[in-house]
Structure 1
Amino acid sequence: MSSPIATIRYFTTPSTWVEGEAIRQLERVAALPGMLKVAAFPDLHPGKGGPVGAAMLSEGIFYPYLVGSDVGCGMTLCPTDFESAKARPEKWAKKLKGLEEPLSEEEIAEYLPDSSTIAPEMYPSFGTIGLGNHFVEILKCKDLHHEASFKNSGLHQSALAILVHSGSRGYGERLLRSHVDKHRDGGLIAGSLEANQYLADHDRCIAWARHNRYAAACRLFRQIDPAATINRGDDWCHNSVTVNEYDGKQCFLHRKGAAAAEGTQLVIPGSRGSLTYLVRPTAEKPEENLWSLAHGAGRKWGRSECEGRLRERYSADSFRKTRLGSYVVCDDKALLYEEAPQAYKDIEAIIADLVSFGLIEVIATFTPILTYKVRGR
């Protein structure tokens, strides 16, 4: 199979800082056999083996390692009927507990339509978000720019919404490990038995992660108000490989830390001390940005360097309340430093870049009032 260097398109302005290693990773991806096009977004940063904040299109072959171990990682935005004016985030932050505990099989069945497709060893993880940059966040609407688009999403300006960021937990890790043990960073040929098996398992991970996010949203908010209505909202996957038609050919679209922009709207959050944006994709030629957009602010610092950079100026406790006045539930001191707002790029700059390229229009902004990460027993 021939391997000309694929075209790389950067949707970033000169004012947006991108780490050199992320660019080198993109260039290595562009040189892979079968790779046609690569799109990089302003949240681009280096990942384990491949770039995060990019979409990559190939023909005849696809690469599971580019999707990574958290297949199906993404976000769900769930509307509620709970009035924002009645929110008591400081009180709620103190009462939330037990969200890392396993659900019963009866509870799992409530959220997972066909639990028989899931290996029993994955049951304990269902309804939990994991660690890293995953969270459940309660939001209130700050500014509304396009009322009709906002209402079409089922959201209400005066009611709270729940944003969940999580993935397939250990499910995706097992899938990648089974591939890497045999193929390392090699690709799978389209139509082969191994490719078809991977894609079938991949789709189960995607579905599992989507249902898991809704379960996590309900689980948290029912501790606050058992009678509240929590609707299944829009869901956006950030780590996946899908079959897409391009130039009359069936190709494979890899997304790693890139949001699918094929619907009418999507959410792009910042760090814990920043606003979250609900946006409408507006690209005139969406194939140029590979039907994808930035998925968030993107990391500025590696996890291992955060505490060293911040410890002398900030205590871990100082990150339990943000500059916006929101509360952060996190009993893991190291994670508080790793997820500090300073460790991420400026979400306003990310949004401005996307607007400047004509890729999005802002529908509304949200302010976080409570973010749940992890609570000890």
Structure 2
Amino acid sequence: MGNSIGSESSSMTSSAHPALINRFFSDSAWIEGAALDQLDEMSRLPGVLEIAAFPDLHPGKYGATGVALLSSRLHPLLIGNDIGCGMSLFGLDFPLRKLKIDRAAERLRRLEAQAIGDVSELLAEAGLPVDLSSGALGTIGGGNHFCELQAVEGLADGGRAVGLDDQGLYLLVHSGSRALGATVFSETVAAHSGLTAGLDPGSETGAAWLASHDRCVAWASLNRRLIAVRAAAALRADLRLIADVPHNLVRPCDRGFAHYKGAAAVAPGELAPIAGSRASLSHVVLATSGVSRSLNGISHGAGRKYDRATMHGRVGRNRSEREQLLRNSWGGIAICDDRALVVEEAASAYKDAGQVVTDLQNEGLIVGLASLRPLVTFKKAVDEAEVEQRRRKPEFRREGGRSHERY
């Protein structure tokens, strides 16, 4: 299969008997055969006891994504390099009726230039070292990460009961531990050649990875909050946290360690966002007591339908098509100055989040509370001040042993 869990043979690393796989998706879900093959391989990893697979399931590196997995051993490969990545939903005190989308997009373009205060103090308040990747805090990163301004499209009675307002505005932030998690992952891989077998949680190496993992999870949560703080400052609004739900992490439980590989870790009664795409609806849901059947996991988003390389042959073949990809049917705007990323993150790259929510509801894992439409999606903006500075910066070239200033 294309994305193997490890380079070693399965006879060296897999269990003799595969773990139980519970599938929480219907025949209507778009599930690739490669993802099912990876699911089977994951069920044979050492220590794995049970797997819950969700309707956003799709192939990934080191195993399928959209999975909660219970194991007696720690499997850092399954969590990957974006440890602690998650979705955070915030409410703004800025009313929908006052919103001008073009003006909001202009302000959000400068999101990452907004001040966020004393970073060392914020890290200390989060129980983290004061110099821990401080320069990256409040930044979104690449790939499928974003900060999105949203408005309610549909609201159930339960949504009103938890304070959601169809005349309000919301921020959905998707980001993780940035270079911090990538460093922890690369160092772990370099230090342990047989990592496909996992780590003994009682060992020194297992305890060390867990400690680093916990720091990444806390840092990622703080990062999402500071992204929202910057967005709110750009929009001149105050904000309140509604939900902060990670989906790349490990949590201890009474039977071992629950690994969430692209699956939202939730408790009964907890609110959670399920992201759509920049041209489709996202959803706010309430986890029910039924999530105990799915290792306290649910989908965190729609899940990819087509990989990044494939998208370059499907959409955005010229400038006009790419510009169309930056708009949606609600008049929404996407801020993304990376042409390749515009194509790779097109709405058609993703599954139907509505079908994902329907499957989860039919399985008794969630109750839908609201759907949210995307109005401004921030992914990546060129720093215009930096571009201007570079344009004006003198360059020097050597001619005949002398320096010449060139503009």
TM-score by length of 1: 0.91
Residues 102, 126 of structure 1: 8 Å contact kept: no
Q: State whether residues 111 and 212 of structure 1, in contact with CA within 8 Å, keep that contact through their aligned partners in structure 2.
A: no
Aligned amino acid, residue 292 of structure 1 = G
Match of 1:317 among 323, 339, 344: 323
- Per the TM alignment, residue 47 of structure 1 is displaced from its structure 2 partner at its CA by 0.9
Runs of 4+ in 1 over 6 A off after TM superposition: none
CA 1:3–1:179 in 2, change beyond 3 Å: closer, same or farther?
farther
Partner of 1:173: 182
- Pick from 39, 46, 51 the counterpart of residue 26 of structure 1: 39
1:278–1:364 contact (8 Å) kept in structure 2? yes
- Within 5 Å, give how 1:189-338 maps onto structure 2: 189-225=200-236, 228-245=237-254, 250-264=255-269, 265-284=271-290, 286-312=291-317, 315-338=321-344
Please give the secondary structure, in 2, of the residue aligned with 1:309: coil
Q: TM-score, normalized by length of structure 2?
A: 0.85
2:174 paired with 1:161:
no
Higher RCO by CA contacts (8 Å cutoff, separation 6 or greater):
1
Distance in 1, Cα, partners of 2:126 & 2:52: 36
Q: Does 1:77 align with 2:82?
A: no
Give the corresponding residue for 2:364. Answer: 358
Matched, 1:188 2:199: yes
Partner of 1:343: 349
Give the aligned partner of residue 123 of structure 2. Answer: 112
The one-letter code of the counterpart of 2:346 is A
The residue aligned with 1:58 is 71
Cα shift at 1:111? 4.2
1:351, distance to aligned residue in structure 2 (A): 1.3
The answer (yes or no) to whether the contact 1:45–1:53 under 8 Å persists in 2 is yes
**Corresponding residue for 1:95?**
107
SS in 1 for 2:331: coil
Which residue number in structure 2 is paired with residue 373 of structure 1?
379
Paired with 1:15 and 1:233, the residues of 2 have a C-alpha distance of 31
Instruction: Report the CA distance between 1:348 and its aligned residue.
Output: 1.4
RMSD, aligned α-carbons:
2.1
Give the equivalent residue in structure 1 for 2:392.
none
Shift of 1:110: 6.0
> What is the alpha-carbon distance in structure 1 between the residues aligned to residue 279 and residue 310 of structure 2?
19
Which residue of structure 1 lines up, in the alignment, with residue 405 of structure 2? none
CA distance in 1, matches of 2:15, 2:275: 39
5+ residue gaps, structure 1, are: none
* CA distance in 1 between partners of 2:25 and 2:188 (Å): 33
Unaligned runs of 5+ in 2: 1-13, 384-407
**Partner of 2:104: helix, strand, or coil?**
helix
- Say which SS state the counterpart of residue 313 (structure 2) adopts: helix
Task: Say whether residues 1:124 and 2:135 are aligned partners.
Answer: yes
State the distance in 1 between where 2:88 and 2:55 align. Answer: 22
Task: Report the number of matched residues.
Answer: 366
The 8 Å contact of residues 35 and 56 in structure 1, kept in 2 or not, is answered as: yes
Secondary structure of the 1:234 match is: strand
